[in-house]
Structure 1
Amino acid sequence: MEPDSHATPKRSLLDILFVIFLRGVAISCLWFGLQYWGMVVGYSFEGRGRFDLLNFPWRVAASALAVVYPVASLGLWLTVSWGPVLWVIAAGSQLAMFQGWPEIFGNNVLLQIMHIFVASLYVVFRLAIWLEEKRKMDERVRVDLP
């Protein structure tokens, strides 16, 4: 009897690097979520960011991001399809906050650059994975042809 290990698909180096990338983003999302929770409950900023002391736009943004970031972190860590979707929602919200309303939320240029870099790297990974799958499919078709 043959071992079952032959039935499991082999992961390519690209797949492994993509999972490492997603887990790195997951750790940063968890960090962002903890920062927002720390702000909302008054742990950080010497209590000045407590929910009851924030103006309305910050209340909406901070409470939403305090929930979305940890959930996105879980999805990214598990490498499920909804993880990057939630990350895009959270990162897009932060980009909208700091780019669209700097008079309310301030201007965090480093955060904006980081989100754009991570999104670009994600697109590069997905494109490379798509090209690799296409190449493998072409090889299978060539082998199957008489």
Structure 2
Amino acid sequence: MLQAFERSPLHATTLELLYQWFHRLVAVYSLLFGILYWVRLVGFYDGAAWRFDLMPVHWQVASVCLAALFPFAASGLWMLASWGPVIWFICAAIETTMYLGFPDLFGTRYWVVASHALVAAIYCVFRLIFFLQSRREAN
């Protein structure tokens, strides 16, 4: 009777472990971005007009949204929740739009856009490999 409730231990493949560590690395990266936005909001940043009450309205909106969303994405990525990459993608899309779509308002930070593109590309490669593996196993 007890054998019906016993399960064999789950063994993750090397690829699954890499995927989990990739999520955790992006979680740390997202938490860092979130902290940087919070530093700007509370006024510890040395730049001109980088305290919330001195920021232009477009920076106030972007900073508040990203200061809330990046830590939220980090927690979802760290827990390996399915919504973690979705929230990260929203953050990446907002920052990419800010720096590529409105450089006259937000400036140009190509390294931020490039880092988001790199993370998105690696994520797509992982998902493609998982898709191909499941397809091969189905045959």
TM-score for the superposition, normalised by structure 1: 0.88
CA 1:46/1:102 → structure 2, altered by over 3 Å: closer, same or farther? closer
In the TM superposition, structure 1's runs of 4+ consecutive aligned residues that sit over 3 Å from their partners are: 1-5
Using the TM superposition, give the Cα deviation of residue 137 of structure 1 relative to its aligned residue in structure 2, in angstroms. 2.5
Write the letter of the residue equivalent to 1:59: Q
Structure 1 partner of 2:94: 93
CA distance in structure 1 between the aligned counterparts of 2:133 and 2:14, rounded to whole angstroms = 11
Structure 2 partner of 1:59: 60
Q: Deviations over 1:88-140 (max 9, x none)?
A: 100000000000000000000111111111100000001111111222232xx
CA 1:103/1:47 → structure 2, altered by over 3 Å: closer, same or farther? closer
CA distance in structure 2 between the aligned counterparts of 1:38 and 1:123, rounded to whole angstroms = 31
Using the TM superposition, give the Cα deviation of residue 47 of structure 1 relative to its aligned residue in structure 2, in angstroms. 7.3
- Report the RMSD for the aligned CA atoms in angstroms: 1.6
Greater Rg, structure 1 or structure 2? Answer: 1
Using the TM superposition, give the Cα deviation of residue 5 of structure 1 relative to its aligned residue in structure 2, in angstroms. 5.1
Q: Secondary structure at the match of 1:80?
A: coil
CA distance in structure 2 between the aligned counterparts of 1:130 and 1:10, rounded to whole angstroms = 19
Structure 1: which 5+ runs fail to align?
A: 139-146
TM-score for the superposition, normalised by structure 2: 0.92
Structure 2: which 5+ runs fail to align?
A: none
Q: How many residues align?
A: 137
CA distance in structure 2 between the aligned counterparts of 1:20 and 1:4, rounded to whole angstroms = 28
CA distance in structure 1 between the aligned counterparts of 2:80 and 2:127, rounded to whole angstroms = 13
Percentage of identical aligned residues: 36
Q: What does 1:1-146 correspond to in 2, within 5 Å?
A: 4=6, 6=8, 8-45=9-46, 48-138=49-139
